């Protein structure tokens, strides 16, 4: 089902209108069962009615995930133990007329078909004003990482027309979860064609990718969703830094505060044209070993964090036009990377707008401040984003992003992003303890 618009409390609606900007994520609310410390971290009001509306989950109740009302263990642990030999060898059956179809992302024609599905049917905001528009280059970057499993780029198509109507992806990653280093799957890009919603396509895609992941001896996964499911290990909030004031007002991404004019808004949001760090440069091949180590050491301090090998790092961080940009600062003497800044670019379609068909957003990917303050690094990220024609710069309050969000005028969005672990029960953590950006 497309994300439902959540009913708002009367006085909340007005407040949100003036302060919040849009996020392509459904609004969701945190259940009472969650740790009060986590609830306090959320700047949004917790709407009790919506928590009460939360129903027991038919599909998720059957899965090895932490239940919303269950007490969390003090130590992280698997919920079920399985062996590869016990896993079903054959694909799960699909309803008549549909078949499983491996998506070969290197095949232009198939890639284009996947693009058609995602650009028309993937995540929208609550009011169906905007929809993510992942480009083919972006999808190849995100999914063809070294050691990817072709078997985990899973589509469903209609046998007769060959039309792709469902997709889900898995990518193997090294994740540190509390004190354990694990090889797990990152599951992403779950999408069902709009005409096939609420018919069980989502759950069957999840079950089939799980089976394929299990067959490789992997029994844990990480995934994110704006929607509340059992049960988030952390809940992050979106923040948005406006670059193109007029366009974002035009498309309804943000609103002018009652006590402000467009001129004042533009003045407050003005971004310099020149970089603050004169020695910031695009990452080069020679920087990879030291930049990879710098990032891994930084991420290792977080409670849940990804760890990259050099091949993965090179794939994900060497800049690609209109997809990802990485900048580093090198020590002049030994040429070791001391600071790193990276962001990716993702367009959103503006649905049914007379003037604009899309807007361009930069998203903070990974930032490692070391010799330079994170505020200066991220100011330069804004300068770079602006020079690339981005209309907005987005980030989550994960890692150390809280240190720059307010200083650099990132405004509170209306969306949360929940982080989930499959078959792994663990204590909840705060967003700043998350060292993983999911694309």
Ligand X SMILES: CC(C)(COP(=O)(O)OP(=O)(O)OC[C@H]1O[C@@H](n2cnc3c(N)ncnc32)[C@H](O)[C@@H]1OP(=O)(O)O)[C@@H](O)C(=O)NCCC(=O)NCCS
The residue ranges that bind ligand X (CB under 6 A) are: 1, 57-60, 121-123, 190-192, 197-198, 200-203, 225, 227, 229
CB of 110 to ligand X, least distance (A): 19
Strands 180-192 vs 221-225: parallel, antiparallel or unpaired: parallel
Query: DSSP characters for 197-227?
Result: TTTTHHHHHHHHHHHHHHHTT---EEEEESS
Residue 54 or 148: which CB sits closer to ligand X?
54
Residue 211 or 227: which CB sits closer to ligand X?
227
Question: Tokens 């505020």 correspond to what residue?
Answer: 375
Residue 57 or 293: which CB sits closer to ligand X?
57
Dist. CA 439–CA 422, nearest whole Å: 18
Residue 191 or 345: which CB sits closer to ligand X?
191
CB of 418 to ligand X, least distance (A): 9
CB of 116 to ligand X, least distance (A): 14
Using CA atoms of 139, 301, 183, 82 in order, give the dihedral in degrees to the nearest 10: -120
CB of 287 to ligand X, least distance (A): 33
Residue 384 neighbours by CB distance under 10 Å: 20
Dist. CA 332–CA 279, nearest whole Å: 10
Closest CA to 134 of 437, 416, 348, 363: 348
CB of 378 to ligand X, least distance (A): 26
Residue 91 or 261: which CB sits closer to ligand X?
91
The continuous run of DSSP H or E covering 247 comes out as helix 245-250
CB of 189 to ligand X, least distance (A): 7
Residue 201 or 408: which CB sits closer to ligand X?
201
| Phi and psi torsions of 377, nearest 5° | -60, -45
CB of 192 to ligand X, least distance (A): 4
Residue 64 or 146: which CB sits closer to ligand X?
64
Dist. CA 106–CA 365, nearest whole Å: 24
Closest CA to 25 of 179, 96, 130: 130
């Amino acid at each position: 089902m497309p994300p439902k618009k959540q009913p708002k409390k009367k006085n909340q609606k007005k407040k949100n209108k003036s302060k919040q900007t849009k996020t392509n994520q459904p609004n969701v609310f945190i259940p009472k069962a969650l740790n009060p410390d986590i609830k306090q971290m959320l700047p949004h009001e917790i709407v009790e009615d919506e928590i009460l509306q939360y129903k027991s989950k038919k599909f998720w109740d059957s899965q090895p995930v932490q239940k919303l009302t269950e007490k969390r263990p003090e130590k992280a642990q698997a919920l079920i133990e399985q062996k590869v030999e016990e896993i079903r060898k054959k694909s799960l059956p699909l309803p008549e007329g549909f078949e499983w179809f491996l998506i070969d992302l290197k095949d232009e024609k198939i890639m284009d078909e996947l693009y058609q599905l995602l650009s028309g049917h993937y995540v929208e905001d609550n009011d169906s004003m905007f929809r993510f528009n992942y480009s083919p280059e972006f999808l190849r970057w995100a999914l063809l990482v070294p050691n990817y499993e072709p078997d985990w780029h899973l589509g469903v198509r209609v046998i007769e027309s060959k039309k792709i109507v469902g997709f889900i992806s898995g990518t193997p990653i090294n994740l540190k979860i509390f004190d354990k280093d694990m090889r797990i799957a990152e599951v992403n890009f779950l999408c069902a064609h709009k005409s096939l919603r609420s018919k069980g396509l989502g759950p069957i895609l999840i079950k089939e990718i799980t089976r394929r992941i299990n067959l490789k001896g992997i029994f844990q996964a990480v995934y994110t969703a704006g929607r509340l499911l059992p049960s988030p290990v952390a809940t992050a909030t979106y923040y948005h830094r406006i670059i193109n004031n007029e366009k974002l007002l035009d498309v309804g991404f943000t609103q002018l505060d009652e006590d402000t004019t467009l001129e004042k808004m533009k003045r407050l949001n003005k971004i310099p044209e020149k970089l603050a760090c004169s020695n910031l440069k695009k990452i080069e091949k020679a920087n990879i070993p030291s930049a990879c180590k710098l990032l891994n050491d930084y991420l290792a301090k977080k409670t849940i964090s990804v760890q990259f090998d050099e091949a993965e790092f090179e794939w994900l961080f060497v800049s690609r036009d209109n997809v990802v940009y990485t900048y580093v600062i090198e020590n002049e003497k030994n040429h070791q990377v001391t600071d790193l800044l990276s962001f990716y670019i993702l367009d959103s379609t503006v649905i049914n707008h007379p003037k604009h068909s899309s807007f361009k957003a930069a998203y903070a990917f990974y930032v490692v401040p070391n010799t330079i303050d994170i505020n200066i690094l991220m100011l330069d990220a804004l300068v770079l984003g602006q020079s690339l024609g981005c209309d907005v710069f987005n980030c989550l309050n994960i890692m150390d992003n809280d240190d720059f969000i307010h200083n650099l005028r990132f405004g509170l969005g209306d969306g949360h992003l929940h982080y989930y672990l499959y078959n792994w029960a663990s204590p909840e953590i705060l967003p700043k303890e998350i060292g993983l950006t999911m694309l």
